[in-house]
Amino acid sequence: MRDQLRLSPAKLAAAATVTAVLLAGCGGSGEDSGGGGGPEKKTITVAGLPLADVAALHIAMDRRLFAKEGLNVRVQPVQQSVQALPALAHGQVDVIGGANFVTFLQAREKGTLATRVLAEGARNAPHMMDVLVPADSKIKEPRDLAGKKVAVNILNNIQSLTLNATLGKAGVG
């Protein structure tokens, strides 16, 4: 799996640049930059998850790409996207970096947060949501999971919903 996460320096730089551009366009009120050429806000707080999908944010921070554009970005670490929703709703963070669509769609459906997706941060790819087992496990395919317990980080979200759909497609109910 590690090989799947390796990106060339050019791709990393491109991803970091896209992140910088997206974040620079966020905001709307307060801390007006005063000119027409700068960001709408000079300081942005991003709820950052510990995911490969958010690597571009951290690379941009490390390379000071935001600062070079006159933007002060603070990263507020969160473990799950659902933890960042109240902070976003109460203005404690300006944007959530790296959350899944399920979290936002559920919040919108419940009326707890009016959301707007600016850009896709990652796309599902083959093996992105694999179930991992030890090499010597008797579990070799989805049907071997029938009657077994599988751990996910949060119920009724992207991991459990994807697993349920995969198992359902394999005839495991």
Distance in angstroms (rounded) separating the CA atoms of residues 127 and 146: 20
Distance in angstroms (rounded) separating the CA atoms of residues 81 and 125: 20
What are the two backbone dihedrals, phi and then psi, of residue 76, each rounded to the nearest 5 degrees? -100, 105
Average pLDDT, stretch 152-168? 83
Are residues 142 and 170 in contact, defined by beta-carbon separation less than 8 angstroms? yes
> Both tokens of residue 139?
């579990």
**More confident site: 140 or 2:** 140
Q: What is the DSSP letter of 41?
A: B
Average pLDDT, stretch 102-126? 77
Give the amino acid at 74. Answer: R
For the segment 3-60, what is each residue's pLDDT rounded down to a tens digit? 334 444 444 444 444 444 444 444 444 444 445 666 678 899 999 888 777 888 889 9
Q: What is the pLDDT of residue 123?
A: 67
Distance in angstroms (rounded) separating the CA atoms of residues 24 and 50: 21
Q: What is the pLDDT of residue 36?
A: 60
**More confident site: 7 or 93:** 93
Structural domains in the chain? 2-110 (3.40.190), 129-173 (no CATH)
Q: What is the DSSP letter of 73?
A: E
Distance in angstroms (rounded) separating the CA atoms of residues 143 and 146: 6
pLDDT band at 154, cuts 50/70/90? Answer: confident
Q: What is the pLDDT of residue 118?
A: 72
- Of 6-20, 63-77, 92-106, the one with minimum mean pLDDT is 6-20
Average pLDDT, stretch 142-161? 85
